[in-house]
Amino acid sequence: MEKEKPKLNLAVYWGAACGGCCVSVLDVHEKLFDVVANANLVFWPIALDTKYSDVEAMPDGFIDVTLYNGAIRNSENEHIAKLLRQKTKVMVAYGSCAHLGGIPGLANFHTGKEIFERVYVSSESTVNKEKIYPQTSYKIPEGELTLPEFYNDVRTLGQVVDVDYYLPGCPPQTERLLEVFMAIVKKEELPPNGSVIGATDKGQCDECPRKRSDNKKIKQFKRPVEVIDDGETCFLEQGLICMGPATRCGCGYRCIEGNSPCRGCYGPPPGSPDPGSKMMSAIGTMVGSDDPEEIAKIVEQIEDPAGTFYRFSLPAAILRRKLIETTVS
Amino acid sequence: MEEIRIGVYICWCGSNIAQLIDVKFIAGEIKKLENVIISRDYKYMCSDPGQETLIADIKQNKLNRIVVAACSPRIHEPTFRKALEKAGLNPYMFQMANIREQDSWVHIDKEYATLKAVALVKAAVSRVKHHEPLNKKSVEVNSATMVIGGGITGLTSALEIAQAGKQVYLIEKSDSLGGITAKIDLTYPDLKSAGQMIRPKISQVQNHNLIEVFLNTILEDISGYVGNFSTKVRRNGTSEEITFGNIIVATGLKPFSPVTIPEYKYKVLPDVITSIELEKMLQDGTVKTSDGSKPDNIAIIHCVGSRNEQYHPYCSRTCCSTALKYANQLRSLLPDAHLFDIYADMRAYGKGCEEFYTNTSNKNIMFLMYDQKNGLPEIRKANSSDNAGMIITFSEKLSGENIEVPVDLVILMTAVEAHEDAKEVARLTGISLCGNDFYIEKHPKLDPVATTTDGVYIAGTCQGPKGIDESIVQAKAAAAKVLSMIAMGSIEIEVAVSHVNEEVCCGCQTCIMVCPYKAISFDEEKNVSVVNEALCKGCGTCGSTCPTGAIKSLHFTDIQILSQIEGLLKTESETI
């Protein structure tokens, strides 16, 4: 019998995530056979029925590569992140949520209490006159039922455990995943730990196919639905908020090629610790007026500025979250 | 990486700091911090022994970062940077914590002032760890100078510089030299001919082989930086380029038009005239009413548009003494006329002017006082029964009575104001305007003719209303500044400038339009922005605007500022 070369042990896990990252792994299509030829999938809840106890039973360092997608929103996300870290040689923060907090991270504009109040009491489709909230523990005759604790803060994976590589994107570009995976398989020289991989240091404008000038004077901010795009002018010059200048390349211009402005999922280039404020500063210079009242009116046209400028990056940004008011005794 | 070894010095500033702040406590607290090798307090860090201690410590203890907690860096940062250089350290490996202006001078609680000082010093220590050495750069100075404005100030500056053997380009937007001085008859308080003073200066300027005069000329654009400016000037429809190393802005001011003051009926009643219109009559030698007759009753009204929130809040400074000059001239021309000087406050300031007022008040002139708070004097056409053309009604302050003054001619001592194009000249030259559109000097007392743009100086009334004597003082001061710059031959330029990381810059060009110094251009080939370091003043606007984080403002990098904030806030949570 032909001696098989040793396979890598691969795990894919989701924290606070939409599931898109897990599905994106399948976007490798027929290349999945290359992956399977080189790896045992030891843990992948979306596709395999592996139990937590199976992971706990693995020796430390048993898993070669974990692709952890999703942010850390509750105690279960944190527990599994720490468990997988212990069992894994190369921990990859896979996708925007694990990298920067992602869309779930926008919940940091509210407190945990506000979110529960909205979801379980005040939402239009809810009737909960007794104001019953989920509890982390509930005793019934048969024993104790538990739920994970819902935290105030959404955190990135890197804020909870040591991360070896960050693979950005919502979801990451599949080709980049394959490149990284094959590099690990072939034991090629890998970048230093803590690096962002599968992306470049340049902003999106670098190779953006659209025409741009140094004279952006925006009189009206619009939503994509309000513009008949000419298909070739810089989105910002058409009054559309494009996060391109504040966002790394690597995605292959998927949105821009589809005539949609960049949403910022690849996160900021290195040395830019707060992409939201960076982009707001830049946008501020593009407002086409010198009159304070007119400027205020123009800026008011930006729908949901916090959610727009920090769409994927809030927990990782300096801003991090809404201020929690505390009373000092 | 070399080990970080920080020396921290807490200055007492005599008792300025030490009487409110426990300097020994701070020195002790700071000593506990990581990387702090030496932490001392001393009575006067800026003194020679203070600096020598610092230098000796650097040498003996191999210190590579220094923090001095003392006064404002505006005062002594250059002092300590020089001391670092003497000790062989790069001067930028230094950070100052201001515990005087920002602490001991503005607080009264000793305990909290001390805690605040600890926080400020911790912030400086935290920041200085991230400092990087920056190297000095120098550029050669073009020895030509552009003087903008051909009034008495511009003429004086131009002559001073040309007489020292240096080229001057004198730019004047009108068709003649001399400015407002050429439009007045006599000067105060000496009552000498202004024409006899300015005409020889004009011909000297016109005949000087090192002064090129540009009349009917406007500036289209100025680019460059101290020592190396160039401009496009347009005259007679053609554009030409000149290059020079320094600029003196001497654009002067203009009289305010009193048509907007309803009480005075200027342009409604023909015998209400402005001071500059009277000057014309005086130059011609006859003072007449609009119908050509000799006026028997003449009133001079002060503060027309000055010291009044509705028009101009400031004092126009020269009008009181000018009014006294008119009183003298009118008394000589019309010995029998009744002269009324209606003033709000008599501000005959300056050498010889109070004496001038005293002399004038002995010349049978009726001085009457009004108060702008109680309304302005009101001028109306007289009835046929009145023995004069017009009547001025107002509340006389000293007598407390409402009085009527019959007059045939009224002279309005109009305010002076900035030119309409002052803003444009400010934009072209990179200087700033105060709320009244006069130019702002670099320091009102210590550097009154320099501006915040190196190589650009202001002189005369474009900086604020002033007399001929004061304008000439500034004209000569500005010329001296320019000549000393030329004498140096080369100058050191700001090194804490912006730097573009070409690996990160994506060419979005957001930085280009925000740069107030036109220091950034776009490299089409590399698809990146490029900073001209000689033009950059290190203001940081591009750095905070850059959406990619590709622009670093040297000496004000994100990591330096963030670690400073971190140092500041850590203290708060630990000690309060």
CB B172 within 8 A of CB B202: no
Looking at beta carbons, which residues of chain B come within 8 Å of A245? 506, 508, 510, 547-548
Tokens found for residue B494: 């700001």
- A214/B504 touch (CB, cutoff 8 Å), yes or no: no
- A318/B562 touch (CB, cutoff 8 Å), yes or no: yes
- B548/A246 touch (CB, cutoff 8 Å), yes or no: yes
Which chain B residue has the Cα nearest residue A328? B576
Assign a CATH topology to domain B256-415. FAD/NAD(P)-binding domain (3.50.50)
Looking at beta carbons, which residues of chain B come within 8 Å of A196? none
Interface of B with A in 519-538 (CB under 8 A): 522, 527
pLDDT one-digit tens code per residue, A116-130: 999 999 999 999 999
Alpha carbon distances (Å) from B418 to A245, A276, B32, B174, B557:
42, 42, 57, 16, 39
Q: Which of A314, A274, A263, A273 is nearest to A109 (CA)?
A: A314
Strand ranges inside B333-486, DSSP E: 338-343, 365-369, 378-381, 390-396, 401-407, 409-414, 416-417, 456-458
**How much is the pLDDT for B70?**
97
> Does A276 lie at the interface with B, CB-CB under 8 angstroms?
no
The residue extents of the domains of chain B are 6-134, 145-253+418-491, 256-415, 498-553
Looking at beta carbons, which residues of chain B come within 8 Å of A309? none
Which chain B residue has the Cα nearest residue A318? B562
> Does A211 lie at the interface with B, CB-CB under 8 angstroms?
no
pTM: 0.70
Question: ipTM of this model?
Answer: 0.83
> To probe the interface with A, which of B508, B559, B565 has the most A CB atoms within 10 Å?
B508
Tokens found for residue B213: 């005069």
> Does B176 lie at the interface with A, CB-CB under 8 angstroms?
no
CB B26 within 8 A of CB B118: yes
> To probe the interface with B, which of A214, A234, A283 has the most B CB atoms within 10 Å?
A214
pLDDT grade for A327, boundaries at 50, 70 and 90: low
In words, the CATH class of domain B498-553 is alpha beta
Q: Which of A175-184, A315-324, B385-394, B398-407 has the lowest mean pLDDT?
A: A175-184
Q: How far is B473 from chain A (nearest CA, A)?
A: 38
Q: How far is A283 from chain B (nearest CA, A)?
A: 8
- Angle at the Cα of A270 from the Cα atoms of A96 and A155, rounded to 5 degrees: 35
CB B496 within 8 A of CB B503: no
Architecture of domain A8-104+153-196: 3-Layer(aba) Sandwich (3.40)
Nearest to B547 among A214, A273, A279 (CB): A279
CB B24 within 8 A of CB B39: no
- A201/B504 touch (CB, cutoff 8 Å), yes or no: yes
In words, the CATH class of domain B6-134 is alpha beta
CB B14 within 8 A of CB B43: yes
Residues 6+ apart with CB under 8 A from B356: B188, B189, B321, B324, B348
> To probe the interface with B, which of A212, A262, A278 has the most B CB atoms within 10 Å?
A278
Which chain A residue has the Cα nearest residue B565? A318
- A245/B510 touch (CB, cutoff 8 Å), yes or no: yes
- CATH fold match for the domains B145-253+418-491 and B256-415: yes
Looking at beta carbons, which residues of chain A come within 8 Å of B558? 271-273
Looking at beta carbons, which residues of chain B come within 8 Å of A323? none
Q: Which of A193, A191, A194 is nearest to A180 (CA)?
A: A191
Residues B509, B522: Cα–Cα separation, whole Å: 7
Strand order in the sheet with B409-414: B272-274, B409-414, B297-304, B338-343, B365-369
Interface of A with B in 99-158 (CB under 8 A): none
Tokens found for residue B2: 């070399």
Which chain A residue has the Cα nearest residue B527? A206
- A282/B545 touch (CB, cutoff 8 Å), yes or no: yes
In words, the CATH class of domain B145-253+418-491 is alpha beta
Residues B88, B192: Cα–Cα separation, whole Å: 60
pLDDT one-digit tens code per residue, A91-117: 999 999 999 999 999 999 999 999 999
> Does B565 lie at the interface with A, CB-CB under 8 angstroms?
no
Over its length of 576 residues, how does chain B's per-residue pLDDT go in tens digits? Answer: 789 999 999 999 999 999 999 999 999 999 999 999 999 999 999 999 999 999 999 999 999 999 999 999 988 999 999 999 999 999 999 999 999 999 999 999 999 999 999 999 999 999 999 999 999 888 899 999 999 999 999 999 999 999 999 999 999 999 999 999 999 999 999 999 999 999 999 999 999 999 999 999 999 989 888 899 999 999 988 999 999 999 999 999 999 999 999 999 999 999 999 999 999 999 999 999 999 999 999 999 999 999 999 999 999 999 999 999 999 999 999 999 999 999 999 999 999 999 999 999 999 999 999 999 999 999 999 998 888 899 999 999 999 999 999 999 999 999 999 999 999 999 999 899 999 999 999 999 999 999 988 899 999 999 999 999 999 999 999 999 999 999 999 988 878 999 999 999 988 888 998 898 889 999 999 999 999 988 888 899 999 899 998 999 999 998 999 999 999 988 544 443
Looking at beta carbons, which residues of chain A come within 8 Å of B504? 201-203, 269-271
Residues B520, B242: Cα–Cα separation, whole Å: 22
pLDDT one-digit tens code per residue, A45-87: 998 999 999 999 999 999 999 999 999 999 999 999 999 999 9
